[in-house]
């Protein structure tokens, strides 16, 4: 079996209502899906996280000529070939995201060729579901902060009613708002497990102050409190706060995570498989984290393809990944408006009652709806 062709699909959709976080607002969702086609008729699906048009150029113009004719089952060899061929100028950024998307597609091909789900190839636990946490509670323009807090509380209540055992709110709007939101969430949901994501909004002193509010209100973790470049500041926060410090969605490869881990910067490492190097590299990142006594909870943003990859990977992280317990590797479930995510795949793993339920299809367990693909193609 040989790689015959690679197709990239740039997909997008305008949102009915923009939503935002500490850095900017979204008015449109854009995704890059990768198809690796073989001469045996098997097609593997992958996805890239990050700037879709730039990443697409990296695949089409640089990596695709190097991939055609190779054996797709040799994913470790191919990963290293692509890494070394672009090492001088692509150790981080969109080109690594391109390698990530290709790697996910190769694992999908391997599973389909062997008629086996990827989670079984990874040696994952033979379970039917794993718990999710709901990511939402984004900011909205044009309303007062008091009204926004009330709106976010209603949104959170909706996720609780859907059965999510854990939710994650956005903070980083401003310190006064953040304190009010944190306290309102805990007062309203006294026993709910809640995490908070600042998307690197704060400097060190601000993060310490907000971190103390989070620990007073028994939050699960404090995600991306400061800029991802500030490893030492992460370490200060980890030492001085009782709440767990999480980060890594902006980090890539085992070499990048080694910087994060060797500085003892985080309690929870959060690689995104569509950005950090695919499943092949995520296995190595997990090994480093495990050796450092750090939990891994993948970041997951995009379509059902990346979601399937993250869920498959999670099954290998713990002995009982289907149980909700301390240190459990939860699947991040993006609950924001996203017609591409919800409509692109005709076959996928379904989220019900706050858990993702695996199907029994080989590979990643996802297939494209070609009509939807045409509808969302940019």
Catalytic positions: 299
Task: Quickly list DSSP for 37-95.
Answer: EETTS-EEEEEE-S-HHHHHHHIIIIIHHHHTTS-TT-HHHHHHHHHHHTTTT-SSSHH
Q: Are 193 and 221 in contact (CB under 8 A)?
A: no
DSSP one-letter code for 177? H
Give the C-alpha distances (Å, rounded to integers) separating 281 from 24, 118, 271, 272, 278: 29, 15, 10, 11, 6
What the block records as the tokens of 62 is 């640089």
3-class secondary structure, 336: coil
Helix residue spans in the chain (DSSP H): 52-58, 64-67, 75-85, 94-113, 118-121, 145-161, 175-188, 204-216, 231-240, 253-262, 278-291, 304-314, 339-343, 370-376
Q: At what angle do helices 204-216 and 231-240 cross, to 10 degrees?
A: 30
* CB contact set of 191 (below 8 Å; sequence gap of 6+): none
DSSP one-letter code for 7? E
Biggest alpha carbon distance in the chain?
A: 60
Q: Are 249 and 224 in contact (CB under 8 A)?
A: yes
Rg (CA), the chain: 20
Q: How far apart are CA 43 and CA 48, in angstroms?
A: 17
* CB contact set of 11 (below 8 Å; sequence gap of 6+): 30, 31, 32, 33, 52, 303, 340, 344, 373, 376, 377, 378
């Amino acid at each position: 079996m040989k790689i015959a062709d690679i197709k990239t699909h740039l997909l997008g959709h305008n949102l009915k209502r923009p939503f935002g976080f500490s850095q900017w607002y979204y008015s449109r969702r854009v995704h890059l899906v990768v198809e690796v086609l073989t001469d045996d008729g098997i097609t593997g699906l992958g996805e890239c996280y990050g700037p879709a048009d730039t990443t697409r150029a990296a695949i089409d113009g640089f990596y695709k000529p190097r991939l055609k004719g190779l054996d797709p089952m040799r994913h470790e060899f191919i990963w290293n070939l692509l890494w070394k061929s672009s090492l001088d100028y692509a150790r981080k950024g969109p080109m690594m995201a391109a390698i990530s998307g290709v790697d996910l597609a190769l694992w999908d091909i391997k599973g389909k060729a062997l008629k086996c789900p990827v989670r079984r190839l990874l040696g994952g636990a033979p379970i039917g579901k794993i718990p999710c946490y709901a990511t939402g509670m984004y900011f909205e323009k044009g309303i007062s902060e008091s009204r926004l807090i009330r709106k976010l509380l209603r949104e959170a209540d909706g996720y609780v009613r859907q059965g999510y055992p854990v939710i994650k709110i956005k903070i980083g709007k401003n310190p006064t708002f953040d304190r009010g939101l944190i306290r309102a969430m805990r007062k309203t949901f006294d026993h709910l497990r809640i995490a908070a994501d600042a998307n690197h909004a704060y400097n060190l002193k601000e993060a310490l102050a907000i971190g103390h509010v989070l620990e007073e209100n028994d939050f699960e973790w404090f995600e991306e409190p400061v800029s991802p470049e500030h490893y030492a500041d992460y370490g200060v926060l980890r030492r001085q706060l009782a709440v767990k410090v999480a980060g890594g969605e902006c980090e890539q490869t085992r070499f990048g995570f080694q910087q994060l881990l060797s500085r003892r910067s985080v309690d929870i490492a959060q690689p995104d498989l569509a950005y950090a190097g695919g499943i092949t590299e995520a296995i190595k990142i997990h090994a480093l984290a495990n050796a450092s006594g750090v939990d891994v909870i993948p970041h997951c943003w995009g379509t059902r393809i990346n979601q399937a990859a993250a869920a498959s990977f999670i099954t290998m992280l713990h002995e009982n990944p289907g149980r909700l317990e301390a240190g459990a590797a939860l699947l991040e479930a993006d609950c924001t408006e996203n017609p591409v995510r919800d409509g692109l795949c005709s076959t996928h793993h379904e989220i019900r009652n706050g858990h993702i339920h695996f199907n029994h299809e080989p590979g990643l367990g996802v297939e494209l709806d070609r009509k939807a693909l045409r509808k969302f193609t940019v």
